[in-house]
A and B are shown apart, each in its own frame.
Chain A
Amino acid sequence: DVKVTQSSRYLVKRTGEKVFLECVQDMDHENMFWYRQDPGLGLRLIYFSYDVKMKEKGDIPEGYSVSREKKERFSLILESASTNQTSMYLCASSLRFGSGRARNTGELFFGEGSRLTVL
C-alpha cells in the first residue's frame, strides 16, 4: 500500500524554537510538497521539490525552509517558530508531471498531517 508518512501527528512548541517536520514517501515519487491548512483558507503551498536537493518557493515560504537530501524524504524547518505558524501541515508527493509512468493522473498523495501549536 502506497504511503506518505509524517513523523509527528501533534507537536506543541514555544515561540522561538526550531521545529522540524519530517515526511517520507515510499512510492519513488519525484515531486514532494509541503502545504499548510487553515480553516477557510484551504491548502496553501509552502515549498515544492521536484528532485533531490531542488526546491521552489510556494505561495507562503516566509518563515520556512526545506531540505531534500534523499528522494524519499522532504523536511520542513521552522527556524524560529511563531504563534502565527500554528496550523495543520500536510506533506504530499506525486509523480513528475508529464511522466510516462503508467496511470500518471497528477494525483497528490498526502500524509495524515502534523498539527503544530506554537505557544
Chain B
Amino acid sequence: TQLLEQSPQFLSIQEGENLTVYCNSSSVFSSLQWYRQEPGEGPVLLVTVVTGGEVKKLKRLTFQFGDARKDSSLHITAAQPGDTGLYLCAGRTSGTYKYIFGTGTRLKVLA
C-alpha cells in the first residue's frame, strides 16, 4: 500500500511566524496536490505540482515538489489566523485514477 507521510501532525503557532509542512513517500508521483480543509467543509485545492523540482507560490504559501517527485513541502510565511485548517497532500501515480492522501497536518494560528 502506498503511503504519504505528513509531518508534523499538529502545529500551533503565533500569528506572524513561519512554518513548513512536509509530505514524504517512497513512491514516485506524476502529480502532487495540496488541499486545505476547514471545519465542516470539504477539502479545497490549493495547488498542483507536476515537475520534479517545481516551485509554486500562492501569496504567502510556497509549494515545492521534490526532484525525484517523491516528496513535497508547503511553507507559509508570516502565518495568519485565516491559515488555520487541515492541510492535506495527495499524490497520483501515472496511469491511475487513485489519489493517495497524506495523513494531514492540523494547523492553528493564534492571533
A106 near B92 (CB under 8 angstroms)? yes
Query: Do A106 and B33 touch across chains, with their CB atoms under 8 A apart?
Result: yes
B residues within 8 A CB of A83?
Answer: none
Question: Considering the chains assembled together, what is the distance between the CA atoms of A45 and B101 in angstroms?
Answer: 9
Taking CB atoms, residues of chain B closer than 8 Å to A41 are: 103
Contact B99 A108 (CB under 8 A): yes
Total chain A interface residues with beta-carbon distance under 8 A? 25
Q: How far is the CA of A111 from the CA of B90 in the complex (A)?
A: 17
A113 CA to B43 CA in the complex, in Å? 10
Q: Which residues of B contact A108 (CB under 8 A)?
A: 33, 35, 43, 45, 90, 99
Contacts of B35 in A (CB 8 A): 108
Q: Which residue of B lies closest to A96 (CB)?
A: B97
Which residues on the B side are within 8 Å of A42 (C-beta)? Answer: 4, 6, 88, 101-104
